[in-house]
Chain A
Amino acid sequence: MTALALRHDGPGTVPVPGPRRRLIGLVVALVVLLLLLVLSVMIGSTAIAPSVVWDALFHPSADIDQFAIRDYRLPRTVAGLVVGAALGVSGALIQALTRNPLADPGILGLHAGASFAVTVAVGLLGVRDIGGYMWFAFAGALIVTLMVLALGATRQGQSPVVMVLAGVCIGAVLRGAGSALELTNPAAFDVMRAWNAGSIVARPLDLVWPIVPFLVVGLVLAVVVSGSLNAMALGDDLAAAQGVRLTRTRVLAIIALTLLAGGATAIAGPIGFVGLMVPHVARWIVGPNQRWIFAYSVLLAPILLLASDILGRVVMHPSEIPVGIVTAFVGAPVLIVLVRRKKASRL
């Protein structure tokens, strides 16, 4: 971006830690994430010692524990890492774009689009495995976002308010049509009740890899627009006066967030609360600079997702709770505590 990227560290009323402490925080988050990655591979229906984990990765043999790690826990952990990071950054993007600290990527109708596409694939086209309907989910998310972009076009360019309203309405219509389809088709209902819960179980690595390039493009685009988003936080007029091209920035940001959230939803199904809460907490720690918010979100979101996933394996042992259900139970109390604080953080 241009040199116009503002280094605004808040309006002065909220104390924001300096770059040094923010960097230390980032390193701490990185360490916690690495720790959780290891724990996620170790903990499960049987606990596996770290040494076996090490051997499984670097000295493979036909041991049953090694098999469990390579075929189940490692893919699951990778999926958690990738999905978490994508959800975190996409949440930060939608919150910056709408200047609404409680916006969630799902607000643009993305989850409803993905869900409807999967229902059609399963119910009408007879697709039965995740490798097949994953791409329907991605396409559904993309198509709905394109519709929202088209409907959100006003004379003055893209309006975030109209886009959000369009997302809510399209979401409602698609949800109704989706449940009509499900309730008349038991096979589709059975697949959808599992898919809608949001899970990272049974996503083999060769299903996750094809999505990763899309996520990388989304991440790069997010970094590219971060400077303009910082300027736009001060208001459209001020940003335009500084040479920010508003429509271009908004369209790029929407493309980035669709690739990220759409990709994450394709892999894991609709997972709520991560995209809403993590950027909110990140902003609370580092202040309003989007670059720092992105950096923290990319680490904090997989932390929340992996921790929730591990919790879901342990709480009702030996049965497991899908991660999408756990995130709401971890996230909602935090949100309620946040909003009960004296000053709820604003963008």
Chain B
Amino acid sequence: MLVLRHGRIAVRLEWRSVVVCAVLALAAAGVAVLALMTGSYQLGPGQVVSALTGGETGLVHDIVVEWRLPRVAAALVFGAALGVSGAVFQSILRNPLADPGIIGFSQGSYTGALIVILVVNGTYWQLVGGALVGGMATALAVYLLAHRRGVQGFRLIIVGIGVSAMLDSLNTWLILKAELEQAMAAAAWGAGSLNGVSWDRVVIGGACIAVFLLMAAMLSRPMRQMELGDDAAASQGVRVSPVRLGLIAVGVALTATVTAASGPIAFISLLAPQIARRLARTAGITLAPAALVGALLCLAADYIAQHIAPTPLPVGIITVMLGGGYLGRLLFTEARRRL
């Protein structure tokens, strides 16, 4: 146990968590340098580091700082946000497979985005607005439809499946009716893509995410207490209902920001907390390792997506495949052990 003290404030940290976090951060930094080096104009690690510290001017500076860095920063920040969002959902629903997709958020924001892209033919910021409105409206509709003297987990999942299926059909219909080129652009957004991110988008999205992450960190202690059960937490002075509502709001807001900025990037919010828990060997869900695993996953997946095919692919395609594979391995070993 590591205890940091500064005046009246003290932070207690598990040694293993600290080491795991440090290793994850180093790994993410390594992949980031690799991503900044690679492209149609190859650079060496020395050039990248000196460009980042302001030692380069001209072309090298532009390539690293203006072209490649926004994308790397977006992958790191969005990945961290997705990791924390998943951790929050898995903790409050006490279900290791929970993620914000359950309440139809991704399908709803895709519908909103499709309407903006295909019907209104709007700008990037209209797209962000459409995705947010679509996602939020869907989540609210699912919550209300599942509400019948309180919301019960099973009912929420089934209503989520039903509403998602309808929106999936609507999305298919919109794609089917659109011009081919527009439809493909929309489908690339729908797969979750970091193509074309620029500094202004990263800064605005990142600022929102920073605020939400701070809120999540403030709620993390009562969240850990609530993992022991509502009654146990209440007896320790946690006000259970407002804390839970706050956590849901933060979790949805984090996913919403990422989805609005880059489309629904699948599986990171589901995988990151799982991997983090196994690495840090903590009993419950911890936010910091989940954030770092999310950032590393997203960055690595985006690196693969950019360089595996002649044309860059949406990062979401890689996360789906990685996610399916990892989930398969995980579930298999557990299912077989139980049988």
Contact = CB atoms under 8 A, between A and B. Distances in A.
Interface of A: 102, 151, 154-156, 159, 161-162, 165-166, 168-173, 175-177, 179-180, 182-184, 186, 189-190, 193-194, 196-197, 272-273, 321-322, 324-326, 328-329, 331-333, 335-336, 339-340, 344
B325 A190 contact: no
Nearest to B336: A154
Contacts of A154: 336, 339
A342 to B, nearest CB: 9
A218 B165 CA distance: 27
A177 B339 contact: no
B331 interface: yes
Contact of A183 (B175, B181, B313, B321): B313
B313 A180 contact: yes
Interface of B: 145, 148, 154-155, 158-159, 161-163, 165-166, 168-170, 172-173, 175-176, 180-181, 183-184, 187-188, 191, 267, 309-311, 313-314, 317-318, 320-321, 323-325, 327-328, 331-332, 335-336, 339
Contacts of A162: 332, 335-336, 339
A162 B169 CA distance: 29
B166 A339 contact: no
B181 to A, nearest CB: 8
A340 B148 contact: yes
Given A180-B309, A189-B180, A169 B331 contact: yes
Chain B interface SS verdict (over half): helix
Contact of A172 (B163, B165, B187, B320): B320
A173 to B, nearest CB: 4
A247 B113 CA distance: 47
26 contacts: A102-B161, A162-B335, A162-B339, A165-B331, A166-B328, A168-B324, A172-B323, A173-B321, A175-B324, A176-B318, A176-B324, A183-B184, A183-B188, A184-B311, A189-B183, A190-B180, A194-B176, A197-B172, A197-B173, A273-B165, A328-B168, A331-B162, A332-B165, A335-B162, A340-B145, A340-B155
Contacts of A172: 267, 320-321, 323-324, 327
Contacts of A171: 324
A170 B327 CA distance: 10
A169 B328 contact: yes
